[in-house]
A and B are shown apart, each in its own frame.
Chain A
Amino acid sequence: MRNFYFKTFQRDSRVYLSRSSSFLGPIVFFLITITLYPIAFGSDEEQLAELAAGIIWISILLANLLSHQFIFNEDYKDGSLDLVLTSGKSLFLWASIKIFVNWYFSSLPLIFISIFTSFMLYLPFDAALILAITLFLGTPILSMFGALAGALTLERGNIVGSSIVIPLCLPALILGILAIQSYKNEELFFYIFLLAAFLFFSIPILIASCLGAIKLHFE
């Protein structure tokens, strides 16, 4: 049993590593968007420091949309999704591993890069640390919503899925931004705990609905 899940993990990681576009794409996109904001708004230090948290969060949200299709789409096309569905293994664990690998290769690099870009946008060091923490808690939520969108639109991989996901991700964005903005007060922990609560609340619901969405392509 354990072998199957471990091999899923291994195989998915190799696919991501061998195809540079799938993990470099979001990084390049993220860096480009980050560069666009100072060009559009001007390089005023105070203004950028005020906007920095929002800029980074929005850029990560948009960069996340790029990697959604990779989660289940290829397995669907080459037919291995059929085999997994009929194999009788725990689908919940299987989907969690796939989403985790996607998060590991598309969001985790962005979190590390975002620490550097936050200095480029003149965000104070304390706030940059809080930013990293909120991103650690928030990006899995985005990945799971993205997996749901990808699972719903397996056949076409169109923009519809993404447009559904963004309004639903809103609490994560708001809580993340609020935590960074109140990095000097005690309210900080309130928002971070709420973000963590939102994460743990959405894990079972979103992965279960992902599986429901996948199954509807095979009925």
Chain B
Amino acid sequence: MRQFFSQLISFPYFFKLAQLSFPYIFVISIFVILLGVSWGVFFSPSDATQGDVYRIIYIHVPAASVAQSIYYTMVVASITYLIWRIKMASVFMISMAPLGALFTFLALFTGAVWGQPTWGTWWVWDARLTSTLILLILYLAIISLFSSFDRRDSTDQAVSIIVLIGGINLPIIKLSVEWWNTLHQSASITLSGSSIDNEMLIPLLISILGFYIYVTAIGMRRMQIEIIKREITHNWVKTIFQEKR
């Protein structure tokens, strides 16, 4: 087990492993997402109060869940990088941050589309929405940091410091946004108010699982690209591309 992990952080080994496993994981993720979403959209019962509009939940909730999880995995990677200087951790952060931004945006967008018919507005300054917006800003700020250094190591270290500080700060931001919100308006709009029926919950869980597998696949692909960018002068990259020809 220990040997497996120590092999995983070597660039050539990871590259080959990702190259082999990417097609399978990708196909499985597409299959699971299609299963979950189509089950939810076509076969699960419509909601008593919201009608058929609620069916966007099968995209919205998985996207929001993935968006937050990516940030927390990035925090773990940043700690790993700052303590052990494992380059794979910085490759992970740099390739996952744009994905996180994308899914945060998707969550906000589907939320707005869902909010229009149910709440009557595209946007509410609700605690949850606001903290998701701040998460998006944080992702974009991290991405904008990628190109502000000349040297690779400085970028990695700056990104990991900011990710770590953001990770410490994110729960505080969430809490403070909730305090700020409760003073202004009662928290009438929460998802947790109504418990979800099993017939809706199962397809939702399936599509959440599908989104996670999808992010794993795409994240592996992005990490491969980042590895090639960094190791372009090394021999093992050259041999891989010569084999292809």
Contacts and interface: CB of A to CB of B under 8 A. Distances in A.
Given A171-B176, A174-B180, A160 B144 contact: yes
Given A152-B162, A174-B179, A216 B157 contact: yes
Contacts of B82: 212
Interface string B131-162: 00010011001101100111001100110011
Interface residues of B, number: 30
A65 to B, nearest CB: 14
Interface in A167-205: 167-168, 170-171, 174-175, 177-178, 181-182, 191, 198, 205
A152 B172 contact: no
Contacts of A174: 176-177, 179-180
A24 interface: no
Contacts of A198: 172
B165 interface: yes
A168 B145 contact: no
Contacts of A217: 154
Contacts of A178: 179-180, 183
A170 B154 contact: no
Given A160-B141, A160-B148, A163-B141, A170 B161 contact: no
B180 A213 contact: no
A153 interface: yes
B164 interface: yes
B91 to A, nearest CB: 17
Contacts of A158: 148
A175 B176 CA distance: 7
B9 interface: no
Interface residues of A, number: 29
A158 to B, nearest CB: 6
Nearest to B172: A171
B169 interface: yes
B153 A216 contact: yes
A167 B172 CA distance: 12
A155 interface: yes
A153 B148 contact: yes
Given A168-B166, A171-B173, A152 B144 contact: no
A163 B164 contact: no
B148 A156 contact: yes
Interface hub of B82, B137, B158 (most chain A Cβ within 10 A): B158
A212 B165 contact: no
B158 A152 contact: yes
B82, B172, B173: most-surrounded residue (chain A CB, <10 A): B172
B106 to A, nearest CB: 20
Given A170-B176, A174-B177, A160 B169 contact: no
B225 interface: no
A26 to B, nearest CB: 23
B169 A168 contact: yes
Contact of A212 (B157, B166, B176, B183): B157
Given A167-B134, A174-B179, A216 B158 contact: yes
Given A168-B166, A174-B180, A175-B176, A213 B161 contact: yes
Given A160-B141, A160-B145, A160-B148, A168 B153 contact: no
A170 B142 contact: no
Given A178-B183, A213-B161, 20 more contacts: A152-B161, A155-B150, A163-B137, A164-B138, A164-B162, A167-B141, A168-B165, A171-B172, A171-B176, A174-B179, A175-B179, A177-B180, A181-B183, A191-B179, A198-B172, A206-B165, A209-B165, A213-B157, A213-B158, A219-B154
Interface of A: 148, 152-153, 155-156, 158, 160, 163-164, 167-168, 170-171, 174-175, 177-178, 181-182, 191, 198, 205-206, 209, 212-213, 216-217, 219
20 contacts: A148-B161, A152-B162, A155-B150, A163-B141, A170-B134, A170-B173, A171-B172, A171-B173, A175-B179, A177-B180, A178-B179, A178-B180, A178-B183, A182-B183, A205-B165, A209-B161, A209-B165, A212-B82, A213-B158, A216-B157
